[in-house]
Amino acid sequence: MTDPTEQPPIPASGEKLQKVLARMGLASRREVESWIQAGRISVNGEPATLGCRVDSLDQITVDGRPLRRDLTNEVSRRVLIYNKPEGEVCTREDPEGRPTVFAQLPRLKQGRWVNVGRLDINTTGLLLFTTDGELANRLMHPSYQMDREYAVRVMGEVDEDMIERLKTGVMLDDGPAKFTDVVTSGGEGINRWYHVCLLEGRNREVRRLWESQGVRVNRLKRVRFGPVFLGPELPVGRWREMKQNEIDTLSEEVGLKPIALPVMKTSEKEKAQRQARKPSMHQARTVKRTRVPHGRS
């Protein structure tokens, strides 16, 4: 029998820690969860746990460093489109000293850019970065069905039966995979271009799908991520910041309410524009460029 004097438990207040830190742009939700499990995050001097909730009064430290809370920064949502060249890696630091995509992005006063997925070192094209880790998490999550489109040059004999198998599904080492669409896009002999679409971003998935059929990919470029296209106006090795209406469309695709872009001072805006026009050091050393044919969107 329940004691009538017993008080009901007080529900936890605030938001989940991983959601708050993701929105601040420290990392995606999944990355923050791995930090919590590794013991890198504390709340009010105690190790954080998965499911922990925080509010504006809680003191959060990451790797022993206090996190400065700025509520205006926590609701910031900026998005960059970057045209990745071949030879750059998608990690913040590379032990082999290879060029990293993060070195090419504009610096932030607070928070950091979170990459929406990755491209391997030999793959070029569209990469998205955002200050909103929750947006990044949703864009990458399979449940939101964000399709990716690639232009791919394949070396080897490709017939209709092979294309049908790739669209129906084949078994890879990490499970079944398939393209949702395959469109022929030109080429001669055994080197032909195709545009392919798929609904996930597993490691080297496009290459492995083709290789499962005995052919080889010798060029690969991502040209679209969901509603975002890599337009011809963005040179290789350059980035541009998405406009408010573009960010709103992207946010709505994954069920997030629009957030107004932060107001930038004139000097900050001019500096960002100069940075956007400046090619990366890696790309400045690259003189050979090959055009990729356009396929059906």
Domain ranges of the chain: 15-73, 76-142+227-257+264-284, 147-225
pLDDT tens for 265-276 read 555 555 555 555
* Rounded distance between C-alpha atoms, residue 195 and residue 220, angstroms: 10
> What pLDDT does residue 186 have?
85
Instruction: Report the sign of the C-alpha dihedral through residues 62, 65, 70, 73, in that order.
Output: negative
The yes-or-no answer to whether 15-73 and 76-142+227-257+264-284 have a common fold is no
> What pLDDT does residue 18 have?
87
CATH topology of domain 15-73: 3.10.290
Distance of CA 35 to the CA centre of its chain: 19
pLDDT means per 10 residues in the chain (297 residues)? 48 73 80 92 92 85 83 72 97 93 90 91 97 89 94 96 97 95 88 95 94 97 97 95 95 89 60 57 45 45
* Rounded distance between C-alpha atoms, residue 165 and residue 154, angstroms: 16
Look up the CATH superfamily of 76-142+227-257+264-284: Pseudouridine synthase (3.30.2350.10)
CATH topology of domain 147-225: Pseudouridine synthase (3.30.2350)
Q: How many residues does the chain have?
A: 297
Between strands 175-177 and 181-188, the pairing is unpaired
> What pLDDT does residue 270 have?
55
- Residue 121: DSSP 8-state: T
Q: Identify whether 120 is a catalytic site residue.
A: yes
Distant-in-sequence, close-in-space partners of 120: CB < 8 Å, separation ≥ 6? 203, 204
Choosing from 55, 63, 70, 120, the catalytic residue is 120
* Rounded distance between C-alpha atoms, residue 166 and residue 160, angstroms: 10
Among 196, 181, 199, 182, which Cα is nearest to 145's? Answer: 199
This prediction has a pTM of: 0.72
